[in-house]
Amino acid sequence: MKKLWLYSLLSICLLQGRAQTHLAPTPPMAWMTWNYFGENINEQLIREIADAMHSSGMLQAGYQYLVIDDGWQGGRDNRNNIIPDSKKFPSGMKALADYVHSKGLKLGIYSDAAPLTCAGYTASLHFEEQDAKTFASWGIDYLKYDYCNAPKDSFTAKQRYKTMADALRKSGRDMVFAVCEWGERQPWHWAAAAGGQLWRTTFDIRDSWSSMMGIYEINVQLHAYAGSGRWNDPDMLIVGLGGNKGPSGDLGGTGCTITEYQTNMSLWSMMAAPLIATNDVRQMTQEVKRILMHAGIIAINQDSLGLQAKRIASKDSIDVLLKPLVNGDVAIAILNKSATTQPYALPFASIGLEGRYTVQDVWTGTTTKRSQQWKGSIESHATVVLRLKKE
Ligand code: GLA
């Protein structure tokens, strides 16, 4: 009897441990509605985005999840089941999920650990099990769970996130659980144990260089907390937003240069951040496609070792990041934060990399053999990303 009890306890622990990490062994790659479309979403748009993710190559590049953020909800029915807004989603979420799945994508949705979401829609507090069951019955694969209208303290936050994570697990369907309390209660210390695979580390990103740098500065310091199945989330990529519209255009989000967007992709990839695009994938320029779908940079982000880059130098507006990769390869990023082009030389031995390397400049594709250093000039706000293989 005692043995049986111990065995059950062990299986529960193993199951819980497994459930916490196997859902996102590498950082989730997604497209999300919020930063471009805000609340202006509907089933036609989602179908068009699914088509575009498929036809543009985004899905093949690895962007697997299509996530519907805030603004889809239409309240609860007379049995308290959460329902979509019938004007925006007249065919219902199950039909939409079927469509999204038919394109080879997975569907994500959004709720909040309070009675109402950030934009004031119906949320999941006290309905966690019922909502998790509903999401599972629709075929949802990912839940972003926000924290507006909830108490400030950490104790309640941990409890509320755990309640929803447990409910998702109980629903019987695998759903990635994305914790979104903006880093206010240091979720890197507790969100994985509560059942999350990723957690926002900062407030919302805006489409500007200063916002990107502010968020990078916070997230880069949290490298020790990331690993397979547990990721620091510095919010969506702003690549391709072009200062056009949507919530990320608020508060000075007037857009970035292509060089700056490339830095966004470089830093987020180095930091093993979830890559969550939020542009209009139906009309991407060649430049935006090149950045978002760059196989070499995505390979660094998705590297199975699952390590977040560590900042190993920060001096005179130049930051150097180092990310160990599988098979002994190493990725290095050199970021120029200044407003002018900077010359820079990096002898590899100075960062503990002795010997000679085959060095690939990831963005240009140029390869140099038998190298012991990188030397060149870096444009203002640009990031050079190198992949080193020991010879
Ligand atoms: C918060 C989140 C955003 C978005 C909105 C939706 O601000 O941080 O990412 O989900 O809510 O209302």
Ligand 1, atom 1, lies closest to the CA of: 118
| pTM for this entry | 0.94
Q: What is the mean pLDDT of residues 312-326?
A: 97
Final residue in a domain of this structure, among 254, 282, 301:
301
Please indicate, yes or no, if residue 29 is contained in any of the structural domains.
Answer: yes
Ligand 1, atom 11, lies closest to the CA of: 118
Residue 249 scores a pLDDT above 70: yes
Instruction: Indicate the pLDDT class of residue 20, thresholds 50, 70 and 90.
Output: low
Q: How far is the CA of 118 from the centre of ligand 1 (A)?
A: 6
Q: How far apart are CA 357 and CA 370, in angstroms?
A: 5
Instruction: Provide the angle, in degrees to the nearest 10, between the axes of the packed helices 209-219 and 258-270.
Output: 10
Q: What is the mean pLDDT of residues 134-145?
A: 98
Ligand 1, atom 6, lies closest to the CA of: 70
Domain identity same for 97 and 159 = yes
Residue 307 scores a pLDDT above 50: yes
Q: How far is the CA of 273 from the centre of ligand 1 (A)?
A: 18
Query: Could you tell me which of 73, 88, 85, 74 has the C-alpha nearest to residue 42?
Result: 88
Tell me how many domains the chain contains: 2
Domain identity same for 151 and 248 = yes
- Expressed as residue numbers, the domain containing 75 is 19-301
Residue-level pLDDT at 244? 78
C-beta separation of 229 from 350 below 8 A:
no
Q: What is the DSSP string of 91-111?
A: T-HHHHHHHHHHTT-EEEEEE
Please indicate, yes or no, if residue 2 is contained in any of the structural domains.
Answer: no
Q: What is the mean pLDDT of residues 287-293?
A: 98
Ligand 1, atom 8, lies closest to the CA of: 204
CATH code of the domain covering residue 333: 2.60.40.1180
Residue-level pLDDT at 13? 43
Q: pLDDT tens digits for 42-92?
A: 999 999 999 999 999 999 999 999 999 999 999 999 999 999 999 999 999
Phi, psi values for residue 196, rounded to 5°: -95, 150
Answer positive or negative: Cα dihedral of 97, 45, 79, 161.
positive
Q: What is the mean pLDDT of residues 271-282?
A: 98
Residue-level pLDDT at 253? 81
Phi, psi values for residue 275, rounded to 5°: -95, 105
Residue-level pLDDT at 8? 46
Please indicate, yes or no, if residue 11 is contained in any of the structural domains.
Answer: no
**What is the separation of C-alpha 166 from the centre of its chain, rounded to a whole number of angstroms?**
22
The best mutation among 117, 143, 180, 199 to test binding of ligand 1, ranked by most ligand atoms within 8 Å of the C-beta, falls on 180
Q: How far apart are CA 62 and CA 97, in angstroms?
A: 19
Please indicate, yes or no, if residue 8 is contained in any of the structural domains.
Answer: no
Domain identity same for 235 and 367 = no
Final residue in a domain of this structure, among 301, 326, 353:
301
Q: pLDDT tens digits for 178-223?
A: 999 999 999 999 999 999 999 999 999 999 999 999 999 999 999 9
Residues with a known catalytic role: 146, 204
Q: How far is the CA of 295 from the centre of ligand 1 (A)?
A: 29
Question: Residue 59 is encoded by which pair of tokens?
Answer: 């899905």
Written as one letter, the residue type at 285 is T
- Residue with tokens 């303290």, as numbered in its chain: 153
Q: Give the percent of the chain with pLDDT over 90.
A: 91
Strand pairing of 231-233 and 106-112? Answer: unpaired
The best mutation among 117, 118, 121 to test binding of ligand 1, ranked by most ligand atoms within 8 Å of the C-beta, falls on 118
C-beta separation of 53 from 278 below 8 A:
no
Q: How far is the CA of 25 from the centre of ligand 1 (A)?
A: 25
CATH code of the domain covering residue 152: 3.20.20.70
Q: How far is the CA of 36 from the centre of ligand 1 (A)?
A: 12
Query: Could you tell me which of 27, 1, 38 has the C-alpha nearest to residue 278?
Result: 38
Residue 5 scores a pLDDT above 80: no
Domain identity same for 295 and 315 = no
Residue-level pLDDT at 9? 44
Q: pLDDT tens digits for 94-132?
A: 999 999 999 999 999 999 999 999 999 999 999 999 999
Ligand 1, atom 9, lies closest to the CA of: 204
Q: What is the mean pLDDT of residues 246-259?
A: 85
Residue-level pLDDT at 12? 42
* Nearest ligand 1 atom to alpha carbon 69: 10
Q: How far is the CA of 49 from the centre of ligand 1 (A)?
A: 20
* Nearest ligand 1 atom to alpha carbon 200: 8
C-beta separation of 237 from 268 below 8 A:
yes
Ligand 1 interacting residues, C-beta cut-off 6 A? 34, 69-70, 117-119, 146, 180, 182, 204
Domain identity same for 272 and 320 = no
Q: pLDDT tens digits for 163-174?
A: 999 999 999 999
Mean pLDDT of the chain: 94
Ligand 1, atom 5, lies closest to the CA of: 118
Q: What is the DSSP string of 328-350?
A: G-EEEEEEE-SSS-EEEEEEGGG
